[in-house]
Amino acid sequence: MIDPLRITTTPSQSLTLLDLQRMVRATLESRFDEAIWLRAEISELKVNRSGHCYLNLVEKGSGSGAPCAEARAVIWRSVYANIAAKFESATGQRLSSGISVLVRVIVTYHEVYGFSLQIIDLDAGYTLGEVERRRRETIERLVSDGVWDMNREVELPTPTLRIAIVSSATAAGYRDFCQEIARSPYNFQLTLFESLMQGDAAEESVINALSAIAEQEEEFDAVAIIRGGGSTSDLALFDSYTIATYVAQFPLPIFSGIGHDKDVSVVDMVAHTMCKTPTAVATYLVELADTQMAYVEEYAQRLRDGVVARLNSERLRLERLSAELGRSSMVTLSALQHRLDMVEEGIKSDARRLIQSQTQRLESLREIVESHNPQNILRLGFAIVRDDQGRSIDLSNIAIGENVNIELSDGSLRANVTDKKIG
């Protein structure tokens, strides 16, 4: 329990502002007479031309992330170079905004500039631990959300040649990627969706680039997120939960090539395929195209072999069917010939029977006709009477006194009608 500071004032015995400020300063400096270790996040950092470093330190609330405490701080030129070099050597990154730090400070108060902290030392190991803690929290959250493996399960199209790229247009890593792709024999179609890859606006920029790709996903086979090497703080962008969860759930397979060989970000972990560097992404895509083309060529060869085998099989089948058709035709022709012979024999037999029947009928008719021959009739005692013109007569058209010719079986007579009797 700190004893309250008792100051007696009256309207006639008041304090000046300077008096109050000096009292505040004396009180603070007496209470904080030794340097203390302090945890905070750097929200702003600026090194002026004189070499002094001015910072703004904040502590963010657990809810909205808005600062719940804030203070100005300074690292004087006499110690800044040493602190900055030690920090960068240990963490691989420069002191910059957005970094959580553990600093040793002297509490100071100035009558004009107010409360501030003078940083005299820094524990780089704390910052490294904070980075790793945030990475673990991001990973645990992605696993808990059930999205950790989603992008790795997206099927790669064949061939994988239409590539959307998220990168800065001026980045060396992007140039290396394009140069490596250009050396391949394949017709890659590269489309850059330019994005900031560091700084406070980088997270939103990367998300915007990915959103633009998602709106036209049918035009691409895969996405490459590429960024060359940088400081740990620069690459910490790709440990962002916001970016990582977007990558994990992206509808197209994502290839990541972020940082140096030793760098592995959370985005690398959730991407479909992680490559060490931008050049490694290009190399992988070319090798993937080699594999896919080899598969296509193998499949084409298998298809050709299958077609040849099928053609040979069908040729043999046609030959067999042709032979069977020949044999079947011979059997059919033989059967038809036999049937034709039987039909011919039947026709001939029927013809003979018909001829014989008609011959018998004609013979009967001939006998009938023969039986009506006048000579035969005359032989039975009949006679044929004709007038002088050779016409047959009857009693109605012959007159008494006319001459008639009488034909008998053995000759003829000429007679004169002397009488006739009708009835």
Which tens digit of pLDDT belongs to each residue from 249-300? Answer: 999 999 999 876 676 889 999 999 999 899 999 999 999 999 888 887 777 8
Q: What stretches in the chain show pLDDT beneath 50?
A: none
Question: What's the pLDDT at 65?
Answer: 62
- Provide the 8-state DSSP code for 392: B
Question: What's the pLDDT at 230?
Answer: 64
Question: What's the pLDDT at 162?
Answer: 95
Instruction: Give pTM, 2 decimals.
Output: 0.54
For residue 159, say if its preceding peptide bond is cis, omega within 30 degrees of 0. yes
Give strand ranges (E) for 157-258. 162-167, 189-194, 222-227, 254-258
Domains, the chain, in order of start with CATH, read 17-122 (2.40.50.140), 145-287 (3.40.50.2300), 375-416 (no CATH)
Question: What's the pLDDT at 142?
Answer: 94
The amino acid that residue 215 corresponds to is: E
Question: What's the pLDDT at 2?
Answer: 64
- Cα distances (angstroms) measured from residue 263 to each of 40, 108, 162, 268: 26, 40, 27, 9
The owner of tokens 């033989």 is 334
- Nearest by Cα to 74 from 90, 92, 53, 94: 53
Question: What's the pLDDT at 377?
Answer: 73
Rounded Cα distance between 98 and 91, Å, is 14
